[in-house]
Amino acid sequence: MRRRTARQRSRQGSRVDPYISYLLLAGVGVGTWQMNRTWRQTLLWLLLLGAFLLYVEIRPVKPNYSLRSIGWGALLGAVVSMPLLLLAWRYLYGFVVQLFATDDARLLFYQLVLVGAPVEELYFRGLVQREKGMPLSVALYAAVALVYFVPGLHVPALAIVLITITYALTGFVFSYVYARYGLSAAVTSHVTFNLIALLLPFLLQYLARI
């Protein structure tokens, strides 16, 4: 009976500590700043995905999928991204090109929509927020901007501050969506944001050249 109880307790705990996994991410981010930017970003996303997969081996995460929930997620993602698109679409275009060192919209679609948005939500909401709550989830998501953008990029300090604030605001929205509607809705909200704020500027830039 004692062995069974201990086993049950071990299954209730988290094998992946959010703090340790995040420190590992930050260390790898700093140590790989000279890598090709596309491959570096992919490596960082793989680290987040690996941490989440180790976590759900012990504590399965429910996606809470429903058309209503993903509809609300898409709506809130659009509401947050549209003002940013309207105010700064030219700057967003240059920012994305500098970060990923490519202006290939198809490659960026695969990275930002099919990989980046789902993986970041699985880790920051499905793991960090579930274990430590919304404030830490938002704080770590805002701080990850420094891991992504500071090493190796010639970005002014003011731009870094603005990017970090943007990450904090969007992280708060994604965290709220997760708490209110579930993980699938949070992923949908993030995907919608990336489509509108980070990929639509490529279409606008193309139309401006015509």
pLDDT in tens, 50-88: 999 999 988 998 888 899 999 999 999 999 999 988 888
In the chain, DSSP finds a helix count (H) and a strand count (E) of 11, 0
- What domain range is 29 assigned to? 2-209
Count of structural domains within the chain: 1
Q: Tell me, what's the pLDDT at 34?
A: 85
Q: What is the pLDDT of residues 121-157, one digit of tens each?
A: 999 999 999 999 999 999 999 999 888 887 666 667 7
The pTM score is: 0.89
Q: What is the CA radius of gyration of the chain?
A: 18
**What local confidence, expressed as pLDDT, does residue 1 receive?**
41
Are the beta carbons of 125 and 52 closer than 8 angstroms?
A: no
Query: pLDDT by residue (tens digit) across 157-199?
Result: 777 888 899 999 999 999 999 999 999 999 999 999 999 999 9
The whole-angstrom separation of Cα 168 and Cα 139 is 7
The two structure tokens encoding residue 48: 């987040």
- The two structure tokens encoding residue 185: 């809705």
